[in-house]
Structure 1
């Protein structure tokens, strides 16, 4: 079944590759980006590959642009099957004692409140679908189980704003999953893994092509698929 998909922050890296893989499966993708020039160029690149991809102007920290984006999808498609909250920023790489409230607030405004703002705007469209799905792109750095385990590779990566903001995103996943269960809408968090992107200075274990796989898997679950979970390619993760 062809699904209608919205992906935020999708003009490059993991978001762009997620758009590519979902469109390769035959789904209609709204490629969301805050920069119209870059967003339209990314959408055009996928259209040239033969895919049904449209640029969607959206900035997750801007109430008006989020509202207008949801109105456009409603006007053109009447529903939304899948929302992928991918847009995010890393913040500074200062230590926790030096990052400062203003920097952390900026990270939260995009990663946490942006995710919630977009979810609120598109939930009516998800309710109009036969079975809606939300995928919140998180990180292994949001796992308290891993961050507190000295044997974990994540133990030493102590980014106060980024780590805690993505842990808050996981909290949104749990809360929204409970609230939306009566409507048949499933909500999960995805950890793409340590990926070679601008975020990581292009270091990592794999590229966006592999990172997108778990997002695509969660985006395409059926009515028997999981909800209120946190997953990477290997399976469930500790919260």
Structure 2
């Protein structure tokens, strides 16, 4: 069984004492590949560093909406340079966060658009963060992705309407530990309606640990708990979830050339 964690933050300082061990644990539990996500310049650089050090880790680069106020021409130029690294597979984590509003909303929208334009220029998918910003997120995606391109709505928690609109645009939806929470009822109802061939698995570690580790530091080794829950919801085996979601991750991140030895 082969699993891909499509969204991790192994650059987090919470892994400073045991990062190598955490990565080894992931491999030992069947998580064969990890995509480490950039959220600012520091984490984008670190993600590229991890991808250089580990053959089974890939990177994305981008500026999270929390830090959108700091996105200028120089930052965008460095992101483009970093994106030229061989194992950078997407632009992200980018998007809109109207829950915290750490950056003004108009600046968030501008930064989102600037980065997805960069992604389209480089022919890379995007990794989208959207919280309490469903209408604006879909509106921007519709404006820029009607004619092609793809990406991921990470840690999806939106409505069924949003999910269907994203699928129509060719996007994938990623789910993590939240699906194991007792209060996830509405999200599970959405998940029931989605085709498995457009679903991805993620941990978003060190955040959002699945049950039975809720409240503790998350790590890629816990991804099988997410896969098991999705299998339960969809009425399929863990092995089928692993096979289909892994194929989805390879497709959206264009990992095929990197993984030829595994397939």
TM-score (norm 1): 0.43
Task: Give the TM-score of the pair, scaled to structure 2.
Answer: 0.40
